[in-house]
Structure 1
């Protein structure tokens, strides 16, 4: 294909995509934020979200966290498509719930402000999506899904390099039309292309119906919160010796090493660097919630320098490495990071303490 033909083809695709987007009804924009609310929301984004979603909302900084400036997401996902996973997380993924009532650091007002800040930063209009069920042929949709989607989203929607579409909280929180719109329009700035010109309307309906068929009636439960350990509970087996480990790359241990040290009752402090809401759901026994966004100047006074410190997260190590690097710079030398993270720990069959 010569340059002229390629340019015409790209222009045609762009024009067709524009017509598809313009076929949707536009909504009035959400409420504006005061200067104070916007400033606080921007600071909260950098503190809580940028580690995985990127400092400029570009996505995929860690754990395949999606772009939060993609046009199709921001115009179709405000407010609830963004607010719900922010508040309650994505069970079975590294995305934790950040709402205070499930153990996170944000009030509901702060979560709303962060959602609206993301929208206003994107600069796009809102569209109105139908509440109606998308009718499609599930078996036909599965064939298309396996051909075009499975390599990134997984054969059963479990997520590989792209979000888990079979995740029950995702399916419970998002309407059919939200899923359909993402397929049709793609996610700009990510490998997710727009399928509006590659598949027929019926084909997109069929894929949507197949993805929806993965739902199994997941319902958000209000979880009783267990008490956060106090500093006098941080050190396990304080009268015993520290474990003697050979660290990989000077920083990492594996699950077998940690479990052996726990069985030997070595002296350790185990830090769960995730959001406390997921510590509440499941954590390695004896670990304490010590989120990656902590103000360490306030918290390190409770950490002993003579005990072995082990940190873990679920992404599988971005947050724990981020926190341990800071501890090292503050003079803590007895540190290690669980290389596989808690999901790797669980997949190897090692035990966790679950919510009460």
Structure 2
């Protein structure tokens, strides 16, 4: 009997991978942990995560914490969809940030390693998800959501017996396809069933579009791409005084110091060094998108070399470090990197803005 059960489980896993491979392209797994890294990651999980997510990663032990052994989550959510909420938390939910830079107990390396450990324990292949927007009817999606999803996730996405889907930080930084994948495939061994084959594909697209629309709040607004700043708009508070930051390691400005300088309307340039599409999703007001891979000379042609420049990213510093080091090499004398990155900035409660909004008809 045991051999028969094992055979059926193995066959089920193989068939699942075949179905996924037919629908989605699989991609290489993240790096393999050493035995020591895995040991520390497991210890951290049991110490910090098991209380709510369960010792066996089954989820829903406390505070409606989701399963961390769900195949569909780790097929679609590694690394950033796991790493970001672990590091910076989910504002307005019991999920706090566990990265030391926002007051948590783990280093950046430890949060990465715990992410990889969870993936390795899931035993699945990653799938390549599109970053293109999912097209759907928002109003139809709301009707389907209220019928199929609100009992568990709440009428306003607040979460009742399931995770809060109206959480702005989750919606702002998960792709449309990540959301659709979860609806299609569910979360195995949790109350979240797979809706592929239950709902028409267009209805799944409609729910996805409805949820994406809520990234700016549970109101009837829709995002409109914001016009990119012109060179004449690069300098924030052009008539203000120059800030005088005390930099950590001669490179980094702390979020609180940057916020105070902006509140005092001090003169500076803010560079968002992430891809421009995520600048549209959420950015510090007044910042200019300058992706780390952009033509730097063209972007900085009209900026005085002595103006204070602050760059930020979400790594939390790698891309911004890359840009600032280039700027210093080109003779810019007042440059800094936001130490906490934008997710740390948001976790600390400092404001961000996103694409323009217009009211739905």
TM-score tier, shorter chain, comes to 0.5 to 0.7
- 1:183 aligns with 183
Per-residue CA deviation, residues 152-185 of structure 1 (Å, 9 max, x unaligned), is 0011111111011110011112000000000000
Q: Distance in 2 between matches of 1:130 and 1:136?
A: 16
Per-residue CA deviation, residues 232-291 of structure 1 (Å, 9 max, x unaligned), is xxxxxxxxxxxxxxxxxxxxxxxxxxxxxxxxxxxxxxxxxxxxxxxxxxxxxxxxxxxx
Per-residue CA deviation, residues 178-236 of structure 1 (Å, 9 max, x unaligned), is 00000000000100000001111111100000001111189xxx7549xxxxxxxxxxx
Would the alpha carbon gap of residues 89 and 77 (structure 1) be closer, same or farther in structure 2, given more than 3 Å must change? same
- 1:302 aligns with none
Would the alpha carbon gap of residues 202 and 15 (structure 1) be closer, same or farther in structure 2, given more than 3 Å must change? farther
Would the alpha carbon gap of residues 102 and 64 (structure 1) be closer, same or farther in structure 2, given more than 3 Å must change? same
- 1:249 aligns with none
Name the SS for the 1:39 alignment partner.
Answer: helix
Are residue 163 (structure 1) and residue 163 (structure 2) matched?
A: yes
- Over aligned residues, Cα RMSD in angstroms? 2.6
Are residue 65 (structure 1) and residue 65 (structure 2) matched?
A: yes
- 2:131 aligns with 131
Q: Distance in 2 between matches of 1:355 and 1:26?
A: 37
Q: Distance in 2 between matches of 1:199 and 1:37?
A: 42
Q: Distance in 2 between matches of 1:18 and 1:148?
A: 28
Name the SS for the 2:159 alignment partner.
Answer: coil
Would the alpha carbon gap of residues 223 and 162 (structure 1) be closer, same or farther in structure 2, given more than 3 Å must change? farther
Q: Structure 2 matches for 1:116-155, cutoff 5 A?
A: 116-155=116-155
- 1:107 aligns with 107
CA contact (8 A) 1:152 1:162 kept: yes
TM-score by length of 2: 0.56
- 1:45 aligns with 45
Name the SS for the 1:215 alignment partner.
Answer: helix
Q: Structure 2 matches for 1:1-356, cutoff 5 A?
A: 19=19, 22-216=22-216, 224=256
Q: Distance in 2 between matches of 1:66 and 1:42?
A: 18
Q: Distance in 2 between matches of 1:162 and 1:191?
A: 8
Gaps of 5+ in 2: 1-10, 218-222, 224-253, 258-347, 351-361
CA contact (8 A) 1:17 1:197 kept: no
Q: Distance in 2 between matches of 1:70 and 1:164?
A: 17
Name the SS for the 2:87 alignment partner.
Answer: helix
Would the alpha carbon gap of residues 20 and 38 (structure 1) be closer, same or farther in structure 2, given more than 3 Å must change? closer
Name the SS for the 1:86 alignment partner.
Answer: helix
- 2:332 aligns with none
